[in-house]
């Protein structure tokens, strides 16, 4: 009697390989994990604002912990963070993160610090 397991195994391996290949080559970006990187380089003015916003929480660590789109009035959440230059900017919500990522320069340059109001 011929061995029928060999052809079944080959077909199974081929199907598994096709599934793996199709799953890895969808052409779509990976699902958003809540963190976004802005690829543009911050302007010197934006870097100055980032440095000031970073220091606003009392710790200079390249992490802006208050939401810049809410004018530092809300605590940011690491789950809604975006990387910009060397800084990690924590934003309070997904909407604020989307606003920031869309135009980080606009968000940063519009930021008014309490002593500037």
Residue with tokens 């079944």, as numbered in its chain: 8
Segments forming the whole domain that contains residue 100:
36-116
User: Which residues, in sequence order, are CB contacts of 83 under 8 Å at separation 6+?
Assistant: 35, 36, 37, 38, 89
* Bigger pLDDT: 25 vs 112: 112
Number of domains present in the structure of the chain: 1
pTM of the shown model: 0.68
Rounded CA-CA distance 115/117 in Å is 6
The average pLDDT across 66-80 equals 95
Q: Is residue 26 part of a domain?
A: no
Give the pLDDT band (50/70/90) at residue 38.
confident
Rounded CA-CA distance 64/4 in Å is 63
Q: Is residue 12 part of a domain?
A: no
Q: Is residue 15 part of a domain?
A: no
Residue with tokens 């779509």, as numbered in its chain: 28
The average pLDDT across 42-69 equals 96
């Amino acid at each position: 009697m011929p061995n029928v397991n060999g052809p079944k195994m080959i077909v199974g391996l081929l199907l598994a390989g096709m599934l793996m290949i199709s799953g890895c080559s969808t052409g779509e970006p990976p699902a958003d994990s809540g963190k976004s990187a802005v690829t543009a380089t911050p302007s010197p003015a934006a870097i100055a604002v980032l440095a000031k916003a970073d220091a606003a929480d009392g710790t200079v660590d390249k992490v802006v912990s208050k939401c810049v789109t809410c004018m530092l009035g809300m605590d940011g959440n690491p789950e809604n963070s975006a990387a910009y230059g060397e800084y990690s900017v924590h934003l309070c919500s997904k909407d604020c993160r989307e606003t920031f990522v869309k135009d980080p320069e606009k968000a940063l340059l519009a930021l008014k610090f309490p002593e500037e109001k």
